[in-house]
Amino acid sequence: MKHKVPLLPKNLIFPFILLTSLFALWGFANAVTDPMVQAFKKVLELSNTQAAWVQMAFYGGYFCMALPAALFIRKYSYKVGILIGLALYACGALLFYPAAISEEFWFFCIGLYILTFGLAFLETAANPYALSMGPKETATQRLNLAQSFNPLGLILGLFVAQQYILKKLKSDDINDFSVLDEISKNLIKTSDLMVIRDPYVILGIVILVVFVLFAISKMPNTKDDKLKGNLNYVVKKLLKNKNYINGVTSQALCVGAQIMCWTYIYQYAENINIDNVSAGYFQMIAFIIFFLGRAIGTYLLKYIKAGNLLTLFAVLAIIFTLGAIVVQGIIGLCFLVGVSFFMSINFPTIYGLSLNNLNVEESKIGSAGLIMAIVGGALMPKLQAIIIDIGGYAVNDIKFLGIPEINLSFFLPILCFIFIARFGFSSNS
């Protein structure tokens, strides 16, 4: 009788549960930030390209801090890295208080930038930490399980953004904000920036509580001084690993596609005369579908090889994205929402496949590259915004074969899914 490999040792159940809470926390930050692109665009009268700096700041922080985080974790431990991450997370969120007082867009961007310094620490530590908490044979499945808590954070974050930000924005109630006199504009701007501020400040306080909880909890130690070799040697070894390099590229495109499909759901809805609050409901459905896809995908990994499942989901994502481009109106929007199901397993599966056959030392450094790859969430949406702004600041200034520019801009996620499908197909897993 074949021995069944356990997903998780019994003695690590509580530490694993505590660890999975982090996946929800950075999911919350991602979701509450996505609608801010549209909110800042309206409140501060920005173009799509200018408003995209929200995502540039948010995901750019990952790129800048992932490697320092990995080196720090390498020297100390996963737990210490998590504590540093929580501290930076809280600091960035609390900076929204003085940012709202200053009413400067760049100040909010700095807050998001520092916040994601913290998220870079958390993801650099938590992902390989989850992989290490149990048998190697079930590592990818275990990471998918931990990552399944991420959509719960996404759903909660979007709920907060919709109910406590978008619904309360006075500027969103005005069809043409630009025609107002300066005094009225300033009063509305001040009020709306306070609305944007409050959820982040509360979030910062919650993160401080989580910091204390982690500080007093006993977590497993995966630190192994015997694995501490020459850093240059480890990096060179990773750079020669074709599977790892393709994995990092796939991860950048995965995050980019994900953020494009979620951020610009509001602009897609705008083109068919759906307001931001109502568009938020469609994004909420997308997150719920994403959660269901993650749960179903994690179950399917028991029977289907990770690489094969990744390829299948990527191909289906291509089909649904094509539907969002070609089919206009509410049905096209439903296609865009449906893409989320097939993006669900991408991040953890690519992560696990990329670190396959790496030791703890290589995984700590290798995880940095995979977290740095999250910068795809900054670059790809920025590129999509530039495409949308080609004809003007509206989302349908120009059309090609009757298809508006907002729809056409989603060919970028398709390119991402093609590469991801190729990576899954070529994987030895």
User: CA 33 to CA 52: how far, in whole Å?
Assistant: 11
For residue 23, give Cα distances in angstroms to 7, 146, 233, 376.
Answer: 18, 7, 31, 19
Please count the other Cβ atoms lying within 10 Å of the Cβ belonging to residue 307.
Answer: 20
pLDDT, tens only, 204-261: 999 999 999 888 888 877 654 444 557 788 888 888 889 899 999 999 999 999 989 9
Using the structure block, give the residue that is written with the tokens 């999975």: 20
User: CA 51 to CA 49: how far, in whole Å?
Assistant: 6
Please count the other Cβ atoms lying within 10 Å of the Cβ belonging to residue 272.
Answer: 16
DSSP 267-293: HHHHHTT--HHHHHHHHHHHHHHHHHH
- What six digits make up the tokens of 269? 């809805």
User: Would you kindly state where each structural domain of the chain is located, as residue ranges?
Assistant: 12-426
**C-beta of residue 339 within 8 angstroms of C-beta of residue 135:** no
Q: Which CATH class is domain 12-426?
A: mainly alpha
User: CA 267 to CA 32: how far, in whole Å?
Assistant: 17
Which amino acid is located at 228 in the chain? K
Note the helical H segments in 34-77.
36-43, 48-51, 53-75
User: CA 294 to CA 291: how far, in whole Å?
Assistant: 5
The structure's pTM equals 0.77
pLDDT of residue 99: 92
Q: Tell me which DSSP letter residue 429 carries.
A: -
pLDDT of residue 178: 63
Exposure of 117 in the CB half-sphere (CA atoms within 13 A): 15
- What six digits make up the tokens of 340? 């989320």
Q: What are the phi and psi torsion angles at 215 (to 5°)?
A: -65, -35
pLDDT of residue 4: 67
User: CA 15 to CA 132: how far, in whole Å?
Assistant: 12
Ranges of residues in the chain with a pLDDT under 70 are: 1-6, 172-173, 175-179, 222-229, 393-395, 428-429
- Among left, alpha and beta (phi > 0; psi -120 to 50; other), residue 43 is alpha
Which are the contacts of 13, defined by CB distance < 8 A and separation ≥ 6?
Answer: none
Q: What are the phi and psi torsion angles at 25 (to 5°)?
A: -65, -40
Exposure of 163 in the CB half-sphere (CA atoms within 13 A): 7
Which are the contacts of 195, defined by CB distance < 8 A and separation ≥ 6?
Answer: 164, 165, 168, 169
pLDDT of residue 247: 93
